Amino acid sequence: MKKLSFPLSRRAVLRGAGCSMALPWLESLHALADTPPPSAFPKRFGVVFLGNGIHEDHWSAEGEGAAMKLSKTLAPLEPVKEKLNVIDGLFVKALTGQGIHPGQTGSLLSGAKIAKGAVIHSGISVDQMIANHIGQDTPQSSIVLACDQPMTGYHETNFSMAYSSHISWQSPDSPVPVEVYPSLAWDNLFDNRGSLLNISVLDRVKSRAQDLTRRISATDKSKLDEFLTSVREVEKRVETMRKSKGNADDAAKGKNTVAFTMDRPANGLPEDLRDHARLMCDIIAIAFQTDKTRVASLIISRDLSAMYYPFLEVKDGHHAASHNNNSDGYERIARFHVEQYAYLASKLNSMKEGTGTVLDNSCLMFLSNLWIGRKHDNFRLPLLLTGGLGGTLQTGRVLNYLKDGVENRKMCSLYLSLLDRFGVKAEEFGDSRTRLERI
Amino acid sequence: MRALLALFACASLAAAAAPATTAPLEQQFQQTVRPFLAKHCLSCHSGASPAAQFDLKAYTNLAHVTKDYPRWALVMERLEAKDMPPKPMTQPPAESSHQVVTWIQALRSAEIKRSAGDPGLVSARRLSNAEYNYTIRDLTGQDMQVTREFPVDPANPAGFDNSGESLTMSPALLNKYLQAAREVANHMVLTPTKLDFAPYPMLVETDREKFAVQRIIQFYSSQPTQYADYFAAAWRFEHRANLRQPTATLATLASLAAEAKLSPKYLQMVYQALKTPETLGPMAKLQQMWQSATAEELVAKTAEMQAFVSRIRLRTSRQFAAPVVKGLPPGSQPLVNWKLKEYAAHRRESDPAALQNESDPPRVAPTIPRYPGLHQEGAPRWAALMAKARVDDMDLVVPTAQRQAYEAAFSRFARVFPDVFYVTERGRYFPDDSQDKGRLLSAGYHSVVGFWRDDTPLMELILDEKAKKELDRLWNEFDYMAQATERTWTQFWFNQAGAVDGKGAEAAAERPVGIAITDPPAIMGMRDKFLLKAAADPKNDPLAPTAINHHFARIDSILRGLEKQRQDAQPLHLQSLVQLASRAYRRPLAKPESDDLLGYYRELRTAKELSHDDAVRETVVSVLMAPDFLYRLDLQDSGLTSSRPAKAAARVAGRPLSSLDLASRLSYFLWSSNPDDELLKRAAAGDLQRPEVLLAQTRRMLKDPRVRGMATEFTGNWLTFRNFEKSNSVDRARFPTFNNELREAMFQEPIRLIEDALQNNRSVLDLIYGNSTFVNPSLAKHYGMPEVKSWTRVDDANRYGRGGLLPMAVFLTLNSPGLRTSPVKRGNWVVQRVLGEIVPPPPPVVPELPHDEATSELPVRDMLAKHRENALCSACHAKIDSFGLAFEGYGPVGNARTKDLAGRVVDTLVNYPGGSTGTAVAGLQNFIREHREKEYLTNFSRKMLAYALNRSLQLSDEITVEQMVAQAPAKGYRIQSFVEAIVTSPQFLNRRLAEKQPVSQLQPLQPTKVQSTKAKL
């Protein structure tokens, strides 16, 4: 079967290629020790995105910890609710008042002002900020996945649909291309392609230098020796990194009580969205578990999604359904997304890491670009955080910022708080210079 | 070649007449020199902290002295000038000093003779950061500056960062190179014929799209499509006799037209149309306007004519709508594309409905419908807008009886004047684009990406065959690079194709099973669904099936065409890859080498399972990581020249560089970059060593814009301002006019002056005495000069206290420690950098001057005068300070001033060493002209030679330096004569045979220490 030629995998390879080769992976070695300090486990960050908002009647929570009561749409999170924070009232000011949909999505994770017309311009997103900081220690600095095909035409607001289709941005001018093929996402992670390619380049360079040595003067040879030594040194580091990771992977597999394994997904696009979403969640889970990457984002449905849900008995496409706010179908679509998110959280929660689980060392974010579809209201956003982020994030809470005033309910303040926890130094981010209260 | 070698032989022979024996010198050293030192010098210049960090006790034999000759040259100079020992100390008898001086001179000549003709050791050297950037720019056509985060390259003792002595490699740096190689490779984009590079990374589809779209927009906007220009040119042709251009033709007028070059064939057509008698209709009116034009009002008249044509053609343009199919939105691609196709095909036609009979009642403006909502047809609103525009346009009202004749006249008019030549933007309700701006080349689809080409009139009327091919190529490459059609098709499928199944205007079609969406069965299957839909209702537009068939056939044919093109392009890409490697390695690749390179590509395809694009990109990475690229190596066995030692001159202890190595040496000297095709061609032809070819190439290259590489790197390092761009030493609160823009302008000023000197072969004396400089708006303001628009040469800069290098703001600022001037730093810069004098470092403990001029008790000048009262200090400061005091008329950021920061009037009267006096910069220039010109010329020659050779100088280079200086007056001190002397020198043309004794390195004293401590002064 011929696959669609999306030029996506390439970039992922390169990010993985990690030209900035770090020293051998230290944190993961703790997985081998008997009683590792909890803080020694790597922190992970994941984002799951739902386009077109939620059914507000069924999106709420109250109470704390085990006593937390979840509404219908959030019900799938019941098993992990003690590790959940339901947050209401945050928003991104730059995305308000400039037109619906792409204009409400383009800088959800960056808070930047986005540009209309021919020029695409947003801001680097928080997940990529984190990836740039912690991604050098893993084969891939991040994985950016989607179940929905990206769109890049123009919306009637004259914003590019690229804003609707990408939440992760590597630079203000370029989104990170999304990988829609589970098989390719898998290959990029587990082929260890990045370092293989580096080894292959270095190998070749070495042999070229050796060839040349025969053709130059003795004095030049010493210069070339210096070069060769450097090549060998770098090569050694890449190899060490690969090996130690391989060992750690094996050890981690044996050590974890629930050893999670996964076969390579079949080529091509899964026909059924349910399979597609599961595969993508599995890939993120296993990538986190084996420390192939520590940052992931997944668009299950993009903004303005045209996917439709026969298995939920919804007749309209997603976007059309979202205009019927009060329909059960709209609620079922949102709940389907929360189910996938809950599946990923539970999966991570089943993976032991030290005395806790991988979820305990992660922060999984769930968000949409709107509150409710028909109103295109983005003065508050549906937002969930799961995972204790290595004991730095208190969970089992319902936090409501709606009445705290615009200055005190910025998404970017939350991002700053998260950046702090990942050790990324930032004075300001997007439209905020302050950390979020109470988080 | 032989002739040139003979020439060198003569030069060398003169110097090396008789091999000197060194025995007497050694003897004299032990018997005369060392005792002298012990008696008069060692009390200061030895021990744990010798004065000026110069330990004379350490020299125990002749070889040791020879090796460190430059310091001994300084000893000689100091003794001759009687500066040393300093005055309070016991002075040696004149005769003893003289003996030592004579000995040093003898040592020098002996060494020069001994090493005559030695081309010096130039080791393999990696590209410096700057060279890497320039080379990448010239390899790829894109200035990426990928080394911006590299560690700074260390300079060699000569002050240049381009030599193997100082350029080292480390694992950390290698890692940076790997990063840089990937960054460059990420800019790569494959076209149907070759590898190309874009100004930004090409990994994301939106970036590839932007790149391809911009190229087409640029092409469009550079085409001559202004009617007024054609009318004016036709008018000038018509009146050529009166304009005293009786021989003018339309063709010459087309190429001469003031602004844009006009299309000759279209000018011919317009002229014919204006000359073919018309009695009625728009052309008749246009002809009248044209005929009544006069030379004085030609511009206004032709503008009026253009406005007339545009108005008539807009209002008579034809209108189209998407075929109506029940259950499909009019914006559905198979339908709306028909409308777009029709528009593009009928731009040279007039809509008969636009005309109104005289006898009809006057037209009434219709109500304009609201701007359509999503998925509604936009045609009715556009029709209403057009109808409204036609109301009261009397040019559209025709005599009822002559209607037919008028319609024909309007048609003829439209054949010549299309409503538009091309469309660059399109919104949802094209042509009513009032709501959607900036959608370049867009097809106007809702949400789905898509592009549409609409430029038939441009192709038919304006472009010649070559330009037509070019435009076709750009559009094809657009699709090829950005996968435009494929992405449109896929996005349509996943977002809108569901409409045909009754799922609404914005719903995906089901994911196909077992086949790709781009496969013919998927495309044709979708077509059949649309055809069924079109046939389902008898009221559907009968054109719909045609539109649908056309649409899907078009997609399939484009995708299949691209598939084949991709297949066909692969061998071309591989050729292109070999070419890139050859340019990167600066030599043709031997067959085994290119096989090896392509073998690597194939291995990546097979063993690593990379796609073609990725494998090519990885191979590019490997090319950029190869030592052949990163290092400049003079290969022992590279062909194209006789590799035998130069027999003609036995004392030339080297052998000629191969033509290819010579080409690289030349291009890195003159451009800081790799040889271009022309130079490589000469090298490959093997005749680059022929003096006339070498000199012709040199002259050609000096004229080339790339010579800015030399202007920047040579001058920047020679005069120590190379890193000024990043310098942040100015207190911007105190000097608010100093901003990044001004800093950049200051940095550029000397570069522009030298670049101009190199390109126009000006005198090197002008660099010091000249009245010219270059300023941009920011710098002109800083200098109080009249406003300029961009970088401009100013030939009377002396009126503003500028001209030549000395009073340039960059040097004055660079050598000021912040809130005051520093005559010491400025003077030291002139003395060391410009005149090449070696000034020893100051003693470790020196009095510190107040840091802020505004609050100091005395002017800087007086404080320095006090400092010089100390005889120990005076020895050096007397040599430096006066040169710096000449600049007291310039403040800490090089601003002209009459008072210092404390409001005291500055004094620029200077007493120079030797007793002469002078005022300000003019005085300094005079002083140099009268007393130090030779030092300047010698220093300039030395610096340029060291830069060109990529190494520090040695005594064997002295002959060349002397020759450069000696020939200068006869050559009018032209800068080219210096460059030519270098490129024809034996050092430049040869390389040292492998096993030659190391010869003394002419190492000037390290000026770095002087700079670090003198900051206090």
Which residues are CB-contacts of B726 (< 8 A; sequence separation ≥ 6)? none
The C-alpha R_g of chain B, in whole angstroms, comes to 38
Q: Do A174 and B213 touch (CB under 8 A)?
A: no
* Backbone torsions φ then ψ of A150, nearest 5 degrees: -70, 150
Q: Do B437 and A158 touch (CB under 8 A)?
A: yes
The C-alpha R_g of chain A, in whole angstroms, comes to 23
- What pLDDT sits at residue B158? 81
CB atoms within 10 A of CB B934: 11
pLDDT per position as a tens digit, A329-352: 999 999 999 999 999 999 999 998
Contact A329, A312 (CB under 8 A): yes
pLDDT per position as a tens digit, A339-385: 999 999 999 999 988 889 999 999 999 999 999 888 899 999 999 99
Q: Do A149 and B516 touch (CB under 8 A)?
A: no
Contact B747, B777 (CB under 8 A): no
Q: How many CB pairs under 8 A join A and B?
A: 242
Chain B residues inside the 8 Å CB shell of A151 = 447-449, 491, 494-495
Cα separation, B656 vs B641, in Å, equals 8
DSSP code at position B462: I
Å between B129 CA and nearest CA of chain A: 16
Contact A57, A357 (CB under 8 A): no
Q: Of A193-197, A199-203, A411-415, B86-90, which has the strongest mean pLDDT?
A: A411-415
pLDDT band at A20 (very low <50, low <70, confident <90, very high): very low
Most B CBs within 10 Å, among A23, A169, A217, A237, to test the B interface: A217
User: What single string gives the DSSP state of each residue in B787-847?
Assistant: P-SSSEEETTGGGGT--SSTT-HHHHHHTS-SBS--HHHHHHIIIIIIS----PPPPS--P
Average pLDDT over residues A151-171: 90
Cα separation, B604 vs B543, in Å, equals 51
**H/E run at residue B910:** strand B909-911
Q: Which amino acid is at B158?
A: A
Cα separation, A354 vs B464, in Å, equals 74
Q: Do A320 and B446 touch (CB under 8 A)?
A: no
- Minimum-distance CB partner of A197 among B174, B186, B618: B618
- Minimum-distance CB partner of B169 among A119, A193, A230: A230
Å between A154 CA and nearest CA of chain B: 5
Tokens representing B752? 């522009």
- What pLDDT sits at residue B195? 96
Cis peptide before B777 (omega within 30 of 0): no
Tokens representing B517? 């969406």
- What pLDDT sits at residue A25? 32
User: Going by DSSP bridges, is the β-strand pair B195-197/B188-190 parallel, antiparallel, or unpaired?
Assistant: antiparallel
Cα separation, A162 vs A180, in Å, equals 15
Q: What is the pTM of this model?
A: 0.83
- What pLDDT sits at residue A323? 87
- What pLDDT sits at residue B806? 97
Instruction: Tell me the C-alpha to C-alpha distance, in Å, between residue B109 and each of B81, B101, B103.
Output: 21, 13, 10
Cα separation, B182 vs B1013, in Å, equals 42
Closest to B953 (Cα-Cα) out of B119, B239, B35: B119
Q: Do A174 and B201 touch (CB under 8 A)?
A: yes
Residues 198-217 of A with CB under 8 A from B: 198, 200-202, 204-205, 208-209, 212, 215-217
Å between A12 CA and nearest CA of chain B: 10
- What pLDDT sits at residue B243? 82
Å between A2 CA and nearest CA of chain B: 6
pLDDT band at A2 (very low <50, low <70, confident <90, very high): very low
Q: In this predicted complex, what is the ipTM?
A: 0.80
Contact B829, B720 (CB under 8 A): yes
Q: Do B449 and A161 touch (CB under 8 A)?
A: yes
Give residue for tokens 């289709």.
Answer: A165
Inform me whether the C-beta atom of residue A149 falls under 8 Å from chain B C-beta atoms. yes
Q: Do B169 and A173 touch (CB under 8 A)?
A: no
E strands present in B100-211: 125-126, 188-190, 195-197
Chain A residues inside the 8 Å CB shell of B613 = 7, 10
- What pLDDT sits at residue B436? 84
pLDDT per position as a tens digit, A219-259: 888 889 989 999 998 888 877 766 655 655 555 554 444 45
Contact B842, B1013 (CB under 8 A): yes
Tokens representing B483? 């996968």
Cα separation, A192 vs A271, in Å, equals 27
Those residues of chain B that have pLDDT short of 50 are 1-20, 259, 639-652, 995-1017
Q: Please give the mean pLDDT across all residues of chain A.
A: 85
User: What single string gives the DSSP state of each residue in B642-689?
Assistant: --S--TT-TT--EEEPPHHHHHHHHHHHHTSS---HHHHHHHHHT-TT
Q: Do B438 and A20 touch (CB under 8 A)?
A: no
Å between B107 CA and nearest CA of chain A: 28
Name the residue of chain A whose CA is nearest to B177's CA.
A19
Residues 215-254 of A with CB under 8 A from B: 215-220, 222-224, 226-227, 229-231, 233-234, 237
CB atoms within 10 A of CB A219: 17
Closest to B842 (Cα-Cα) out of B286, B51, B244, B154: B51
Angle between helices A273-289 and A328-349 (to 10 degrees): 30
- Minimum-distance CB partner of B508 among A204, A219, A317: A317
Give residue for tokens 């392509």.
Answer: B598
Chain A residues inside the 8 Å CB shell of B208 = 7
Chain B residues inside the 8 Å CB shell of A373 = none
Å between A119 CA and nearest CA of chain B: 8
Chain B residues inside the 8 Å CB shell of A164 = 447
